[in-house]
Structure 1
Amino acid sequence: MTDPDIERKLIEIMRIISESDKPVGARNIADELNNRGYNIGERAVRYHLRILDERGFTKKHGYAGRTITERGKEELNEALIADRLGFVINRIDELIYLTDYDLNEKKGNVIVNISHIDKNDIDASIEIMKYAADSDIGISPKIRIFEEDSDSNITVPPGSVAVATLCSITFDGLLLKGGIPVEPYYGGTLQIKDRDPVKFLDLISYNGTSIDPIKIFMSRRSTSVLNIMDTGEGTMLANVRYIPTSAREKADEILKKAGLSDMAGTITIGGSGEELFGAPADIGKSGIPIFVGVNTIAAVQEAGIKVNTYPISTILDYSTMYKL
């Protein structure tokens, strides 16, 4: 038996291979693993691929790469269920730890979402994102665009560009860096009326899913961000984290200071055990709902532009991002 860390990587490699309709090479797998929060190189990927080949879960097609076998599909669907359920929150915890942005020095790494958009649609997409930023839909006006030939670890499919947007889980990293224990808990859809939040219409726990809740809601097309921009009413995406109530005042200071670095989106900080917009909290815990960074991308998707988004994707030097 291999150790749990290797097993998690084997499962994620099989996921990546299964998501492609053609053989996938070790280099592309390594790039995508890095996008998903795994710090692993091409050489290590080849080692893991040999294990999968030996188990009969993948099949090698010369230099073209690997495909997943029927046995591999069964393993992906049935094996290590408990591990898969914990994958998202484990990846979040790792990226929170790697967030080192200094609010005083205004430099360091933040967590970003990565969205793939066809080159032919990028100009229209940027215009929509600008409109969304002007309407205070996003949590930061800063983005970064990666072309196919960009010298980075960001995977860019042929004919596409990758757009990095600030991820709201960055705030969890800022709170942790400030000495506040923080627990990301829910992702959900939040009803908006007269441009104010009313209630969560749906919530999914990060601990109870193998897919990021925000990605689930985007795939369901559960938002109406464009309508909020135009009329002030609709549905947008937000998530909730919990902190000790005793840290409320310090958390408020940190989150307000984040605004000086173009990081906004905090809705409020609840009291001990206070239910916020339908999201419950235990006694001694305070909830902090924050709008998510991909709301601007949801607006692009609503406009009929095809977008493939990976929330909570990787870390990025915030100074390399620029305002829309």
Structure 2
Amino acid sequence: MTEPNVERKLVEIMRIISESDKPVGARLIADEMHNRGYAIGERAVRYHLRILDERGFTKKHGYIGRTITERGKKELSDALISDRLGFIITKIEELIYRADYDLDTGKGNVIVNISYIDKDDYENAADIIRYAMSHGASISPKVGILEEETDEYDIYVPEGKVAMATVCSITFDGLLLKNGIPTLPAYGGLMQMEDNKPEGFIDLISYSGTSIDPIKIFLRRKSTSILQAIDTGNGKMLANIREIPASAASKAEIMMEHAKKNDICGHICIGDPGMDVLYAPVERGKIGIPIMAGINSVAAVEEAGILIETHPVSTVMEYRKMELL
């Protein structure tokens, strides 16, 4: 039996094939998977297609591509929305486990968001990201740059594009887990900033109750005013909140202070046991830790009118390979 994350990719690949009136090849499937928010390259698509062929869900037509079989159509029709509702949190759990960055050695992987931008817009976008990062709108000043036609980290970068990896705030959950503190993001939300300080969440979406990443939903709504918040002190930024056992508060605070020495920061505060934090509800016996979203600097690029396509909580990347922009 394959793991849940693989099963969901298989279902999405079948959807893509079923939506075409002719055989579809691995490259086209990889491009469309990328458009739908899945960080998967052509090589990985071929692996998934072999699984579908073996199950009898797809049929190979030489080098032309695949079509979906009647058996595949039935399997696709049985895919329930309840399964998709658990996709985001399952993906996050997997990435948290894979994020093994060690604050003492400076080695290991952090979780990253991946943004795609036209090469012609790269310099202007980089200036805006650098400006936003210098004003604390992100959790790390480091980025990873992937050039076109690469499939490193299983990320396909189309011709004429540049991919930029920014450190995702879910990296903190990986750090907490590595330090023996159980954690999982509870909400993604929109944070009101006043006088350069977080005033409170004005909108929240639960990670466990949506089939789309909450931060991506706010990006699509164009809800932020990052540049305004930086320039005037008042605006809206993206943030998320995780819950940890109340007994782990002191240990978590020590770990997050240690993270600052590695240029990983952005946590706003640590709440009180069972109490709302910045208007976000917290379960009894736990504390909430709100952290600014690492994707704020990218949202600022879109606010400036530059087209950029972003996939939050996308994959993991070696932090040592990321550099100051």
TM-score by length of 2: 0.87
| 2: CA distance, partners of 1:132 / 1:265 | 13
| 2: CA distance, partners of 1:301 / 1:315 | 24
| 2: CA distance, partners of 1:67 / 1:158 | 26
Gaps of 5+ in 1: none
| 2: CA distance, partners of 1:106 / 1:257 | 12
- Aligned residue for 1:45, secondary structure, equals helix
1:125 aligns with 2:125: yes
Contact 2:99–2:111, Cα closer than 8 Å, also in 1: yes
Instruction: Please list the CA deviations of residues 137-193 of structure 1 after superposition, one character each: whole Å capped at 9, or x if unmatched.
Output: 111100011111436122112211100000000000000000001021100111101
Contact 1:36–1:314, Cα closer than 8 Å, also in 2: no
Contact 1:28–1:155, Cα closer than 8 Å, also in 2: no
| 2: CA distance, partners of 1:174 / 1:277 | 23
Structure 1 residue 293 displacement after superposition? 0.7
- Aligned residue for 2:261, secondary structure, equals helix
Aligned ranges for residues 19-58 of structure 1 at < 5 Å?
25-26=25-26, 29=29, 36=38, 41-50=44-53, 55=57
- Aligned residue for 1:200, secondary structure, equals strand
Cα–Cα, structure 1 residues 116 and 248, in superposed 2: closer, same or farther, change >3 Å?
A: same
- Aligned residue for 1:304, secondary structure, equals coil
Report what 1:96 is aligned to.
96
Gaps of 5+ in 2: none
Contact 1:198–1:277, Cα closer than 8 Å, also in 2: yes
Report what 1:223 is aligned to.
224
Aligned amino acid, residue 45 of structure 1: H
Aligned ranges for residues 79-94 of structure 1 at < 5 Å?
79-94=79-94
- Aligned residue for 1:95, secondary structure, equals helix
Structure 1 residue 206 displacement after superposition? 0.6
Aligned amino acid, residue 102 of structure 2: D
Range with greater deviation from structure 2 (37-46 or 290-299): 37-46
1:195 aligns with 2:196: yes
Cα–Cα, structure 1 residues 125 and 244, in superposed 2: closer, same or farther, change >3 Å?
A: same
Structure 1 residue 24 displacement after superposition? 5.5
Contact 1:258–1:264, Cα closer than 8 Å, also in 2: yes
Cα–Cα, structure 1 residues 7 and 139, in superposed 2: closer, same or farther, change >3 Å?
A: closer
Report what 1:298 is aligned to.
299
Structure 1 residue 126 displacement after superposition? 0.2
Report what 2:185 is aligned to.
184
Report what 1:11 is aligned to.
11
Contact 1:165–1:293, Cα closer than 8 Å, also in 2: yes
| 2: CA distance, partners of 1:72 / 1:216 | 30
Cα–Cα, structure 1 residues 282 and 204, in superposed 2: closer, same or farther, change >3 Å?
A: same
Count residues in correspondence: 319
Cα–Cα, structure 1 residues 285 and 232, in superposed 2: closer, same or farther, change >3 Å?
A: same
Aligned ranges for residues 244-323 of structure 1 at < 5 Å?
244-323=245-324
Contact 1:143–1:163, Cα closer than 8 Å, also in 2: yes
- Aligned residue for 2:204, secondary structure, equals strand
| 2: CA distance, partners of 1:127 / 1:16 | 37
Contact 2:267–2:292, Cα closer than 8 Å, also in 1: yes
| 1: CA distance, partners of 2:77 / 2:225 | 32
Q: Percent identity?
A: 56
Contact 1:29–1:45, Cα closer than 8 Å, also in 2: no
Structure 1 residue 211 displacement after superposition? 0.7
Contact 1:37–1:91, Cα closer than 8 Å, also in 2: no
| 2: CA distance, partners of 1:300 / 1:67 | 39
Instruction: Please list the CA deviations of residues 214-235 of structure 1 after superposition, one character each: whole Å capped at 9, or x if unmatched.
Output: 0111011010001011111100
Aligned amino acid, residue 162 of structure 1: A
Structure 1 residue 64 displacement after superposition? 5.2
| 2: CA distance, partners of 1:209 / 1:77 | 20
Cα–Cα, structure 1 residues 156 and 15, in superposed 2: closer, same or farther, change >3 Å?
A: farther
1:106 aligns with 2:109: no
Q: CA RMSD in A?
A: 3.1
| 2: CA distance, partners of 1:159 / 1:23 | 26
Report what 1:175 is aligned to.
176
